[in-house]
Structure 1
Amino acid sequence: MFDWNDLRAFLAVARGGSTLAAAKVLGINQTTVARRIEALEANLGLKLFERTQSGSRLTEAGQTLVADADGVERAAEGFAHQAQALQRGMAGSLRVTVNEILGNAFLTPALMEFRRLYPEIRIDTLVTDAFLDLDKGEADVAIRGTAAPLADSDLISRKLSDVEWAVYCSRDYAIRHGVPTRPEDLGRHVLIGGEGSLAMMPVMQWIQAQAPDAEVHTRSSSLTNLMVASRAGLGIAPLPVMAADQEPELCRCMEIAGMASAVYVMVRADMKDVRRVRVFIDFLAPHFAALRRTYEVRGEAVQAANLRYVAEARAALAEEA
């Protein structure tokens, strides 16, 4: 088996065109470079260079092998880089559980920048509305929207952002039925109900309490599907402002005061000081704040345009009538 240093000498001569140029790059003397080339040729049983007065020129065999030698060099460098990352606790994967709305609106848009900063860390995104059990190892990190972390939980939590809620309907629904602007108006509209754990959310219970006798034509157990159902015109529903305001087909009817929740990142206590966990959490906080500001500005513009559109369409319908 040949020596790795002999292979480095081979690549340096191939790239520099001479043993002298290779010696300068490698920081060794020219004689040592020449001996390494001779040793490599002897081990391989192949002549790799033609020696000329102007330098060293690759033989046909040398030209064939230089690409493979490049690959060996890259693999060795990658091996060393990965070993260094492991020493720093920065290499490996993180399984992050998040619901679809938070994943699409906040987490995924930030991952390219995180990848640029920390290429050794792989983020595996587990998208689900269910609360995976971190204590059982179902995920390493959780990003969750909740009123407050559970008091009896041993998880370490860090608040990333506030989440306001409002009642929404589609533009088509608003044109046909108008929009509720006060809680007492809700009983005259069709609601989209919650199912399962979604039905237990405070905002879903609030809207049900405001309009217990309202028509409900469909129910959903998914917050993402609730938004899709609203956009399809199936009725009105409470939705997170940060996401729903971005939808051109959704009209914000009224804000829901006093029902704000928050987004937390959560991790087990024994994981909080793991370097890749620490840098991931420290990275998320400013990115969530920046994206929230962006969404607020964009959402106000979208909703202002929606209100104008609906007002003009309803006026046109009134004239036709």
Structure 2
Amino acid sequence: MATAFNLNDLHLFVQAVESGSFTAAGRHLGVPKSTISKRVAELEDRLGVRLIQRTSRSFALTDIGKDFFEHAQASIIEAEIAESIVRSRLGEPSGTVRLTAAVPTTQFMLAEHLAELTARYPKLKVSLHVTDRFVDIVQEGFDIALRSHRFPLGDSALVQRRVAVHPFLLVASPDYIAEYGRPERPGDIADHRAIMPSLSEAQWRLISDDGAEIVIAPQPVMAADEPMVLLKAALASMGITILPTSVCHDALRDGRLVRLLPGWTAGSISTTILMPHRRGQLPSVRAVVEFLAERLAG
């Protein structure tokens, strides 16, 4: 006779694996650690195999546990999809959508839209994890990752949807221009003070609207690999810098920064939504993805 699985036990097992421990899973679910440990042990007894090797210091899936986890996770997602389809027929998207993004992407692109997202979908909860480390969204149980990148993302099993491309502009404050003058051609940049966006970068490669390229070497006065620092340094008239439009848009609009060499850019940065294929079918996830694509396009 085939083993009958309790979907709740599968859910506890999947949550324990995604959280990395029974303790973390218990905190996430609001369930005692002992309850999760006991239910997973009962699941193992019914299967007659060990799924998780655990000691006081380690928690790791066995080989068969890895295979079982992949299918158990898919079963949980399919159950969520089934429930969400019913709920979507009855009304608006609901449930929790787990989203991760890097600090600059969150600060300059995402944060200002969160209030509107929650107002549009009041039954939807967004759990946002902000970090600059690489996040394995499948293993860590995220529904959506929002990533900004200068180079194409590698091939993966994740669904990718590019939502924005922001060119890098040369900018400076009005006070800096008043003191040091406005460069009229790319070669003039070599005589100007520069705030470099990379700790190892000594040159900028500029591209004209008609495709011409030129490499220039300005006079660095500081370097920082964080866009908020570059923005504040430029606003403080420390020198010329390059910033994506997602970062400098408001300052340009308000006149706090001025774009230099309007016919030239220093490359671009793309913003892409990534999601596991199955989770992307959830109505709640689709609603968030469509909202982000609408608001972040540019």
Change (3 A) 1:109 1:194: closer
Structure 2 unaligned blocks of 5 or more: 1-82, 207-213
Match of 1:254 in 2: 261
1:169–1:250 contact (8 Å) kept in structure 2: yes
What is the identity percentage for the equivalent residue pairs of Structure 1 and Structure 2?
24
TM normalised by structure 1 equals 0.54
2:295 corresponds, among 287, 304, 312, to: 287
1:100–1:224 contact (8 Å) kept in structure 2: no
CA deviation string 1:65-106 (max 9, x = no partner): xxxxxxxxxxxxxxxxxxx87963844333323344443443
CA deviation string 1:212-256 (max 9, x = no partner): 3x3222111211211111111222111012431321321111244
User: After the TM superposition, which residues 122-271 of structure 1 pair with which residues of structure 2 at under 5 Å, given as runs?
Assistant: 122-137=125-140, 139-147=142-150, 149-195=152-198, 206=205, 210-212=215-217, 214-247=218-251, 248-255=255-262, 256-257=264-265, 259-271=267-279
Matched position secondary structure for 2:239: coil
Amino acid at match of 2:269: S
Match of 1:15 in 2: none
CA deviation string 1:140-173 (max 9, x = no partner): 3222222454232322111212212210112211
Amino acid at match of 1:263: T
Match of 1:115 in 2: 118
How many residues end up aligned between the 2 structures? 201
1:183 CA drift (Å)? 2.1
2:170–2:259 contact (8 Å) kept in structure 1: yes
CA deviation string 1:120-147 (max 9, x = no partner): 3222333344443324427432222224
1:169–1:235 contact (8 Å) kept in structure 2: yes
1:177 CA drift (Å)? 0.6
Separation of aligned partners in 2, 1:204 and 1:156: 35
2:194–2:219 contact (8 Å) kept in structure 1: yes
Normalized per residue, the structure richer in helix is 1
Amino acid at match of 1:151: G
Amino acid at match of 2:196: G
Match of 2:280 in 1: 272
Change (3 A) 1:149 1:275: farther
Change (3 A) 1:172 1:127: farther
Amino acid at match of 1:215: Q
Amino acid at match of 2:268: A
Structure 1 unaligned blocks of 5 or more: 1-83, 293-321
Separation of aligned partners in 2, 1:141 and 1:277: 8
Change (3 A) 1:131 1:173: farther
Amino acid at match of 1:206: R
- Greater relative contact order (CA < 8 Å, ≥ 6 in sequence): 2
1:204 CA drift (Å)? 7.5
> Over the residues paired in the alignment, what is the CA RMSD in angstroms?
3.1
Matched position secondary structure for 2:230: helix
Amino acid at match of 1:111: L
Matched position secondary structure for 1:210: strand
Change (3 A) 1:153 1:254: farther
Amino acid at match of 1:176: E
CA deviation string 1:5-34 (max 9, x = no partner): xxxxxxxxxxxxxxxxxxxxxxxxxxxxxx
Separation of aligned partners in 2, 1:180 and 1:86: 58
Change (3 A) 1:238 1:133: farther
Change (3 A) 1:154 1:225: farther
Separation of aligned partners in 2, 1:173 and 1:139: 44
Find runs of 4+ consecutive structure 1 residues off by over 6 angstroms.
Answer: none
1:194–1:204 contact (8 Å) kept in structure 2: no
Amino acid at match of 2:296: F
